[in-house]
Amino acid sequence: AGAETVKRAVELDLASRFQESLVCYQEGIDLLLQVVKATKDEAKKHRYRQKISENYVMIFSDGKYHKQIRIEENATGFGYEKLFQEYLTEIVSEVWVEDPYIRHVHQASKYLLYNFLRFCEMLVKGPCKVKTIHLLTSYDEGSGKSQQLSGLEEIKQSLRNYGVTLNIAFSSSIHDREIRFNNGWMIKIGRGLDYFKKPQGRFSIGYCDFDLRPCHETTVDVFHTKHTKKM
């Protein structure tokens, strides 16, 4: 499976489909590394390591990749699935979310907790096999703190029913907004997860389907940082 994935990556690379090829290279290398770890024969293990080193690891040696997406004011078609799905390969098992404004729905910028819940629903649906989500955010101000904690705890308990652990931490100095997957992809959104506009009404198009929800203007930066561990 690893060899076939890398073969596909080479084909995509030759076709100048560099982003897709990078995903395949990443997945193929991880599959091949799993084979190396499971091999008991030291001679075979050495040959596998050498082959991976010679042919594939150099692809990620500089660890650099950057793509920028500009979301225009009132643009549609940028639901979480559309934005994140291509980076959520089957090997993704751990996710880090840093966003200072995962707060209760009564705040001026509404639906923040619901946005995070929707993001979690996407992770649960796959195709990735997420087991752990780490959330770093800031406390809600004033009377909203208890509702914020209650809402996050409810999400945490619900995720547990799907075999997913949600670790929650708070910081008063957090400003950056970024999402990281353990396959090396990192996404920075100017507005964090809260780039959707408030729906016109509870029964208006776009209330349930985020692909149809108008967006605020924002910029999405996608990076890739590969850290190949020596065995």
189, 194, 178, 107: which is closest to 144 by C-alpha? 107
Q: Where are the domains of the chain?
A: 1-59, 66-227
Question: Which residues have CB under 8 Å from 64's CB, separation 6+?
Answer: 224
Contact between residue 187 and residue 38 where contact means Cβ atoms under 8 Å apart? no
Whole-number Cα distances in Å, 179 to 5, 113, 146 = 25, 16, 25
Q: Which two tokens stand for residue 34?
A: 């799993």
Q: Binning pLDDT at 50, 70 and 90, where does residue 18 land?
A: low
pLDDT digits (tens, 9 = 90+) for 28-66: 777 777 777 788 888 877 776 766 665 454 454 444 667
Tell me which architecture the domain covering 1-59 has in CATH.
Answer: Up-down Bundle (1.20)
Q: Which of 201, 221, 223, 225 is nearest to 213 (CA)?
A: 201
Instruction: From residue 162, give the alpha-carbon distance in Å to each of 131, 165, 174.
Output: 9, 9, 29
pLDDT at 54: 52
Largest CA distance in the chain: 66
Proportion of the chain in helix, strand, coil states, percent, rounded to 5? 40, 20, 40
Query: What's the CATH number of domain 66-227, 1.10.3720.10, 3.30.870.30, 3.10.310.10, 2.30.130.10?
Result: 3.30.870.30
CA of 116: how far to CAs of 29, 86, 192, 203, in Å?
Answer: 31, 19, 10, 21
DSSP 1-58: -HHHHHHHHHHHHHTT-HHHHHHHHHHHHHHHHHHHHH---HHHHHHHHHHHHHHTGG
Identify the band that residue 19 occupies on the pLDDT scale cut at 50, 70 and 90. low
Average pLDDT over every residue of 147-167: 94
What pLDDT digit, counting tens, does each position of 60-105 carry?
444 466 788 999 999 999 999 999 988 898 889 999 999 988 875 5
